[in-house]
Amino acid sequence: MKHSFTLLVSLIGLFSQSALGQGNPGKAAPKTGSAAQALPKASNRRPAGITQAQLQGKWQAVDDEREFWIIQGTSLTMRYVTSGTSADDDRLRLHITDTCATTCASLDTQQVARGEYLAVVDMACNAPRCYTVLGYSPNSLTLSYTARGNTLRLRRVKQSISAVVGTRLKPTGAR
């Protein structure tokens, strides 16, 4: 009996919304009064994007001072300065795209001069990693790794990497 009553109340609510034009998802509710006019219009504009020229140079991660991106042309070296003698380098290619490239086959058709995404691939062109450009200024770059949503904040550096890290890298074999 209790379930029948709940069902009846629910049906009455649905019918009353439908009669008032509020229950039909295909029909917009009528706009009345100044409140409807005060709502800001949603913008479909996307950011202007970034160019290859804007990315050139050395970038250091804000959250990990030992991580660097070194960009020369379309070459990207992701360098992590390890303790003591060396740095771990990943040599990659960097492409500016208009969408996240899902395969190397589609990468060439998605490259643009100014875009909102960075596709990073290794030299063998395995699955591209995609970064969304969240922000850019001449001295800072903020990216989101789309696969996980991680945010990477970088700052432009002009000094040598060993000077930036604050420790002089020792020659191989030195202790």
Mean pLDDT of the chain: 74
Q: What is the pLDDT of residue 45?
A: 43
Q: What is the pLDDT of residue 152?
A: 97
The pLDDT-based confidence of 12 (bands split at 50, 70, 90) is very low
Domains of the chain, CATH where assigned: 50-158 (2.40.128.280)
| Tens of pLDDT, residues 115-173 | 999 999 988 887 789 999 999 999 999 999 999 999 999 999 998 877 777 654 444 44
Q: What is the pLDDT of residue 87?
A: 66
Helices within 31-167 (DSSP H only): 33-38, 52-55, 104-110, 161-165
What one-character DSSP code corresponds to residue 111?
B
Could you report how far apart the first and last alpha carbons of the chain are, in Å?
83
| Tens of pLDDT, residues 60-75 | 999 999 999 999 999 9
Q: What is the pLDDT of residue 175?
A: 40
Contact 45, 54 (CB under 8 A): no
pTM for the full predicted model: 0.64
Beta strand pairing call for 50-51 and 114-115: antiparallel
